[in-house]
Structure 1
Amino acid sequence: MKYTKLERNWVMYDVGNSALVLLNTSVVPIYFNAINTGASSADLVVAWGNAQTIASLVIAMLMPILGALADYAGNKIKFFLGFFLTGLVLCLAQAIPMSAMAFLTVYVLCTIGLNSSMTFYDAMLPDITTDERMDAVSSSGYAWGYIGSTVPFVICLALIMGGPALGVPTMLATRLSFIITGAWWLIFTLPLIRTYKQKYGRERGPEDTIGHIVGGVFSEVGHTMREIAHNKTVLVYMIAFFFYIDGVHTVISMATSYGSALGIDSTQLVLALLVTQFVAFPSAIIYGKLAGRVGTLNMILVAVAAYMGIVLFAAFFLKTAFEFWVLAIMVGLFQGGVQALSRSYFGRIIPKEKSNEYYGFFDIFGRYASVMGTFLVSVVTSLTGNPSLGVLSIGVLLIVGFMLLVRLSRMTRAAEHAA
């Protein structure tokens, strides 16, 4: 598909931020485990799960309020830029030697900046393309993000693995990877910052002082909540998303920590996740094309069913490096597709002039799902001392999400027949 300049620049941000996402899900948990000496495998999984939970909880609390403010014309780019710069500075700060708990604190704050910027980035989608092109553009963002992120990651990996032979200690090489990744993120963000213009938004009148706007935000948030409650399509989809994205986010955020706790070699873990990126590139594009043929909702259902199998595989069969490679490939086949189509499907069923506020609520459902998923993994692992049971605990949430999507599909078909 031929992109417009704005579509291309929007996709490029996915290329930039995905490098940090890949580093966070592969190298960072291993680095944290290395500096957190003396902790048991269960303690490491619990600490990492708690960090993910705190970051997700903060984002979920902030986004609806900030989203309502950002829906005023011209504000979206300001909020995006603020969170992007916060995440970038803290990404670079992780290169400073520090204790395990200090590092985890900086990591949590960096994650808040990164994921918050991505909420405003997602909300830009209705501004930069049309409904007809939304699935393809959203899928392309994830696809190019996966393949593009491998470039700085391979450089970092080569430095970490080959550094000792050149006199660069592994820990120092790992810290340098934060600087390399931060630079990559900045380079691929600049084109979007220069060219993005908010198309849909509420105009700010003379009466809209800062105090008036801030005071009205809470009323607006309440009004939007009532709108969602009365729109059955949006409501059922958001509840379904709440449950099924739990499994997706938890598998992504906990995979390396879980594999490390099982005693799988860190090199194998990182290389397997690198393969995930290469598998996810064509898979996400194919998903976007198939959505145009068989329906976006149907393709989301396929991905959720696949994730049920992935969770069962991880809980009952994942023991060796080979099995982790199998898991990584399975995740690559469905990860990008379900995320991209979830984003674009939501963009089509909401009022575009309130996209930021709606995406703020969308992010609440996604982030609280992440809170619940990582919290369940942490609690069950802590109580049983068995990380496998922790992973298994999120399977029921995927099942609930799948059932709600089936209900939504039936509602959609019934509405089409009635029309």
Structure 2
Amino acid sequence: MPVSAPPAALDDSPGARRREQRGWYFYDWANSAFYTVVISVFLGPYLIPVAKTAACAKDFPTVASGTCLDTFDALVLRHPGLGYVDVLGADIRPAAYFGLITTIAVFLQILVLPVVGALADHTGRKKELLGGFAYVGALAAMCLFFVEGDRYLLGGVLFILANLAYGASVVVYDSFLPQISTPEERDGVSSRGWAIGYLGGGLLLALNLVLYLQHESLGLTQGMAVRICMASAALWWATFTIIPLLRLRNRPVPAHESTALRSVGGSFRQLGRTLAELRRYPLTLLFLIAYLVYNDGVQTVIGNSAAFASEALKLSQDVQITAILMVQFVAFFGALLLGRLARSFGTKRTVLASLVLWTAIVAMAMFVAEGQALQFYLMAFAIAIVLGGTQALSRSLFSLVIPRGREAEYFSLLQISDKGSAFIGSLTITLALQFTNSYRIAILSMVVFFVIGFVLLAVTNLPRAIRAAGNEVPGRI
């Protein structure tokens, strides 16, 4: 039996919006700790040795565990048929295990996130869904503390669950943006949220790196220090999620099915209609494609920066870690800076200018001298200036070219298209390395993504796209 939407209209005064915006910012602060601390820094380097421990116990039982880990690659070289771990009946090299579970997590997001978006829009219970996914993800991440010894499968399952919940929560979180801000406020709100996220993730990472680097003086093993760091990120995520849950408000939606099962069925039907109706918004589709192209370049450069530093520049891990920290804090100011520039020069022009800077940055990679940490820091500093702003302003622009009442669905399409296209940049890097064996040329190949993305965005008539979606065109776009 259908139920009626809440009858009373919500207070949409500037004061009420600001209260929600301040709460909304804190979810970026909360979830960035998981992405920065767990995904970007600690989990991969920790989980691969766990998988190697399992392979040692299975294939080299006569070799002492510590000795086996230290000489694992040499043992595998002498015994190429050994040194695998079992994953659902498949033999997987430990070095490939983290990449495998990341691929599985991305694939599941492609399947699940559209349903999450449709369910959020269909039921209107965005706050409940945000909290539910956030706490499922935080609980799974907290349980990573128990991954030790040879428990590589437990680590893989927990990471997949945490990453899936993280992506689902971000879809719901992003869909609040057009509801809590006017078109004129959108750039500033999006930029501040992104900036605060970098600040939160950077602050916790700095604290964790102190613990990690001083673990011996604290009487901790390296593994225990890593596990504490990952658990702290989960606790941070769970604790600060309370703030947006207290501040954000659900919006009234049309009548919908009363049971959970019927709501999911209605969500699938609504998603099908959204995909079919996307043809009615060709300029929205063009913007989405432009974003996917240049954002693929952004994500690929960031994802390969550590390998570029170690392989092409021969820089130490200490340099890489300090560069990551610097990027987190400088990106906070960079996102705010680009948000202010957007108010003065227009959002589209600012994003286009940032793509020119991205092109110049990857071209610089050809000239950074081996062993020159200062030059690498300067390159990382330039990346940090444009990193957060490019993504924040793109999120703001996308929120303007999607129809009202379908925000979560369209942001789910943005998220899954982002995940689904990510392999193109990785494939380009792989092919460049295969044919040239040069990380400099591989990074330089990303110029293609920035140039094509620039052209597609430049030819997108954003005012017409905004009007076609039924939204108000800001005074400066």
**Class of the TM-score when normalised by the shorter of the 2 chains:** 0.7 to 0.9
Correspondence 1:303-382 to 2 at 5 A: 303-314=354-365, 317=368, 319-320=370-371, 321-378=373-430, 381=433
Q: Distance in 1 between matches of 2:423 and 2:463?
A: 29
Mapped pair 1:26 → 2:48: no
Contact persistence 1:135–1:344 (CA under 8 A): yes
Deviation per CA, 1:385-418: give whole Å up to 9, x if none: 65555544444233221110111158859x99xx
Match of 2:171 in 1: 119
Contact persistence 1:127–1:198 (CA under 8 A): no
Match of 1:80 in 2: 130
The gaps in structure 1 that reach 5 residues or longer are none
Contact persistence 1:283–1:336 (CA under 8 A): yes
Mapped pair 1:234 → 2:284: yes
Match of 1:146 in 2: 198
Contact persistence 2:48–2:98 (CA under 8 A): no
In structure 2, relative to structure 1, the CA distance for the partners of 1:298 and 1:101 (3 Å cut) is: farther
Contact persistence 1:70–1:356 (CA under 8 A): yes
Contact persistence 1:56–1:370 (CA under 8 A): no
Q: Distance in 2 between matches of 1:225 and 1:382?
A: 37
Say which SS state the counterpart of residue 352 (structure 1) adopts.
coil
Say which SS state the counterpart of residue 405 (structure 1) adopts.
helix
Residue 158 of structure 1 deviates from its aligned partner by 0.5
Greater percentage in helix: 1
Match of 1:271 in 2: 322
Task: Using structure 2 for the length normalisation, give the TM-score.
Answer: 0.77
Deviation per CA, 1:124-178: give whole Å up to 9, x if none: 1122222221111110011112122222212111111112123222232122101
Deviation per CA, 1:160-217: give whole Å up to 9, x if none: 1112123222232122101221111122111112232122644325xx6555444443
Q: Distance in 2 between matches of 1:381 and 1:200?
A: 52
Residue 168 (structure 1) aligned to one of 191, 197, 220: 220
Contact persistence 2:48–2:97 (CA under 8 A): no
Deviation per CA, 1:283-309: give whole Å up to 9, x if none: 111111111221111111122222223
Residue 301 (structure 2) aligned to one of 251, 257, 271: 251
Single out whichever of 224-233 and 388-397 deviates more from structure 2.
388-397
Say which SS state the counterpart of residue 353 (structure 1) adopts.
coil
Contact persistence 1:45–1:258 (CA under 8 A): no
In structure 2, relative to structure 1, the CA distance for the partners of 1:360 and 1:401 (3 Å cut) is: same
Say which SS state the counterpart of residue 297 (structure 2) adopts.
helix
Mapped pair 1:288 → 2:339: yes
Contact persistence 2:115–2:267 (CA under 8 A): yes
Q: Distance in 1 between matches of 2:268 and 2:262?
A: 11
Percent identity reads: 28
Say which SS state the counterpart of residue 124 (structure 2) adopts.
coil
Match of 1:203 in 2: 255
Q: Distance in 1 between matches of 2:168 and 2:409?
A: 13
Residue 61 of structure 1 deviates from its aligned partner by 2.5
Mapped pair 1:405 → 2:457: yes
Q: Distance in 1 between matches of 2:456 and 2:311?
A: 33
Q: Distance in 2 between matches of 1:66 and 1:289?
A: 33
Residue 114 (structure 2) aligned to one of 36, 58, 64: 64
Say which SS state the counterpart of residue 377 (structure 2) adopts.
helix
Mapped pair 1:159 → 2:211: yes
Q: Give me the CA root mean square deviation.
A: 3.2
Contact persistence 1:69–1:217 (CA under 8 A): yes
Higher RCO (C-alpha under 8 Å, 6+ residues apart): 1
In structure 2, relative to structure 1, the CA distance for the partners of 1:347 and 1:411 (3 Å cut) is: closer
Contact persistence 1:146–1:278 (CA under 8 A): yes
Residue 275 (structure 2) aligned to one of 190, 211, 225: 225
Contact persistence 2:24–2:244 (CA under 8 A): yes
Q: Distance in 2 between matches of 1:39 and 1:261?
A: 18
For residue 148 of structure 2, what is the amino acid of its counterpart? P
For residue 322 of structure 1, what is the amino acid of its counterpart? L
Single out whichever of 131-140 and 299-308 deviates more from structure 2.
299-308
Correspondence 1:124-135 to 2 at 5 A: 124-135=176-187
For residue 109 of structure 1, what is the amino acid of its counterpart? L
For residue 309 of structure 2, what is the amino acid of its counterpart? G
Task: Using structure 1 for the length normalisation, give the TM-score.
Answer: 0.86
Match of 2:55 in 1: none
For residue 140 of structure 2, what is the amino acid of its counterpart? L
Match of 2:84 in 1: none
Residue 75 of structure 1 deviates from its aligned partner by 2.6
Mapped pair 1:16 → 2:30: yes
Contact persistence 1:25–1:256 (CA under 8 A): no
Contact persistence 1:74–1:198 (CA under 8 A): yes
Q: Distance in 1 between matches of 2:432 and 2:158?
A: 26
